[in-house]
Amino acid sequence: MSDLQRATNVVYQAHHVSRSKRGQVVGTREGFRGCTVWLTGLSGAGKTTVGFALEEYLVSHGIPCYSLDGDNIRQGLNRNLGFTSVDREENIRRIAEVAKLFADAGLVCITSFISPFTKDRQEAKKIHVQSGLPFFEVFIDAPLEVCESRDVKGLYKKARAGEIKGFTGIDSPFEKPESPDLVLKTGEISANECIQQVVELLKEQNIVPTGVTEEVTELFVPENKLDLALSDAKTLPTVSITKLDLQWVQVLAEGWASPLKGFMREREFLQVLHFNTLLDGGNINLSVPIVLPVSKESKEKLDSCAAFALEYKGCRVAILRNPEFYDHRKEERCARQWGTTCPQHPYIKMVMEGGDWLVGGDLELIIFCLILTSCLNLLFCLRNPVHNGHALLMQDTKQRLLERGYKNPVLLLHPLGGWTKDDDVPLDWRIKQHAAVLEEGVLDPASTIVAIFPSPMMYAGPTEVQWHCRARMIAGANFYIVGRDPAGMPHPETKQSLYEPTHGAKVLTMAPGLPSVEIIPFRVAAYNKTKRSMDFYDKERHQEFEFISGTKMRRMARSGENPPDGFMANKAWKVLTEYYSSLQKDE
């Protein structure tokens, strides 16, 4: 390297675009975040594992990032370098220069290299410091015996046998960092814990903004402050809320609408109504207004109050602090949220009959009930009973995830628990039907979690399906299965589909602010008359298929008619017919 002729007429050229300007357009969150996270440690310590996992995590949360890995670099940029002391030094120098360019472009650059010598790492840091770029040295600290036990490539074994000379940790030293910015003991903590520690470091250094990590914002009063809050609530003026309002209180309190801290104030309401996102603190998808309507009389009574209690059937369930009242422009809200103002639409009818004012504020729940949520890979949302076509789609998605390398995809079967229109099957009967599907083994009970999503149903089509998806993303879902006409219904007047049936899936795949969930659109499933089972539709064999709509399914169940064999598990169908029989008895 020292024999190369060096140019003497090289002058650094200044960029026309500042880092501040670059930060406004790089990634989904404004602000310059360029830096280098330098992972150093023995071979097998976990640098590549942590590096790529951290890259995936940051990118999924809207932070532009790129991971440089030792093996990858030596296949390209540094393929002409060996492992002599001179070549090792040059290897690290080149990597540091490349990392500096990535950081200057506004990316979080992660480097995963053994980089065993202190002077080389100090030189890498110096390259960044001279350019005014943050550099974080992270020591991946795993004992030699742990690294040898992970020896996937067999390098330690070869080094012990003398087949590889100068191998770091065996016959070449590793100089541990004296004062790294972070130490990750990968022999003691999981990869996820390592990632969270790095993210916390980046938060402390204002690289990752607070709130970017989709922390669940629960609004329950802490147990040690509950008595004080209950006493406070008894002295406050009250406003009566409906059962629908109470369901939204539960949605907010459990954190499904994070980062909201209560019912929307006007600024949040306008952002959601016009942009389907919350813009303060990033670009966070939230497509439906979560608002509390109140009457003119309540507004006049409470307008000057710093706080008031929300009362349901005589019970004070929550406190709303620092309230803000604003005009409930019902027609405009309905036109934007539903794309129609048809007064026969069941949710629009409730909006129009509700209060003429909206009030937002910070919510504190003082009487509550917890509902199970779960972190998982795969999500399926239902307001209807499960038939074998649904099961086929879920089974197919699970198989695709296994083929992609996921070890144990878990399905969250997540029925809607809030208000639904009168002709939908009620929650308790849907739960019974889902239990029958699991009992018959149509879905695997060992890899399926059934939990309740407390949100009301709004029947707002593509607008609402974004809400369904982002709420499950908050719960930890990595994949979201979306079907035809999600959150749709027939137009109350024309009886035609209120929304084009394919638009929900199309909109969801394009929706901003859903970075950490992958959308999996339905493949069309129908009843195969030849196979006598649900199957993926093939238009070349159209005559073999029969489409059994939800309307037809409900009509058959109501009349006591059995569906074709293979359409639904027998016990599950029996639950459905029992429900409709109970309606007839009530009548």
Question: Which sequence spans correspond to the domains of the chain?
Answer: 19-205, 223-365, 381-584
Out of 205-214, 358-367, 541-550, least confident range: 205-214
Q: Is the pLDDT of residue 382 over 90?
A: no
Predicted structure pTM score: 0.73
Residue 269 has pLDDT above 90, yes or no: yes
Domain range 223-365, CATH architecture: Roll (3.10)
- For the CA atoms of 525, 526, 528, 529, what is the dihedral angle to 10 degrees? 180
Alpha-carbon distance of 297 to 299, in angstroms, equals 5
Look up the CATH architecture of domain 19-205. Answer: 3-Layer(aba) Sandwich (3.40)
| pLDDT score at 1 | 47
Edge-first strand order for the sheet with 182-184 is 65-69, 108-112, 35-40, 135-140, 182-184
Average pLDDT (42-62) is: 89
Dump pLDDT digits (tens) for 123-163: 999 999 999 999 999 999 999 999 989 887 888 989 898 88
Residue-level pLDDT at 374: 29
Band (pLDDT 50/70/90 cuts) for residue 550 is confident
Nearest to 425 by CA among 433, 414, 435, 437: 433
User: What is the CATH topology of the domain spanning 381-584?
Assistant: Rossmann fold (3.40.50)
- Predicted confidence (pLDDT) per residue in 455-488, tens digit: 999 999 999 999 999 999 888 888 998 888 889 9
- E strands, 313-410, are 315-327, 357-365, 378-382
Mean pLDDT of the chain: 89
Q: Rounded CA gap, 101 and 338, in Å?
A: 47
Question: Is 50 exceeded by the pLDDT of residue 379?
Answer: no
Specify the pLDDT at position 280. Answer: 83
> What per-residue confidence (pLDDT) applies to 357?
99
Q: How many CA atoms lie within 13 A of 568 on its CB side?
A: 25
Task: Give the pLDDT confidence of 512-525 residue by residue, as tens digits.
Answer: 888 778 898 878 88
Residues 403-452 pLDDT 10s: 888 888 999 999 999 999 998 889 999 999 999 999 999 999 999 999 99
Buried b (16+ CB within 10 A) or exposed e, 292-307: bbbeeebbeebeeeeb
Quote the CA–CA distance of 92 and 114 in Å, as a whole number: 9
Topology agreement, domain 19-205 and domain 381-584? yes
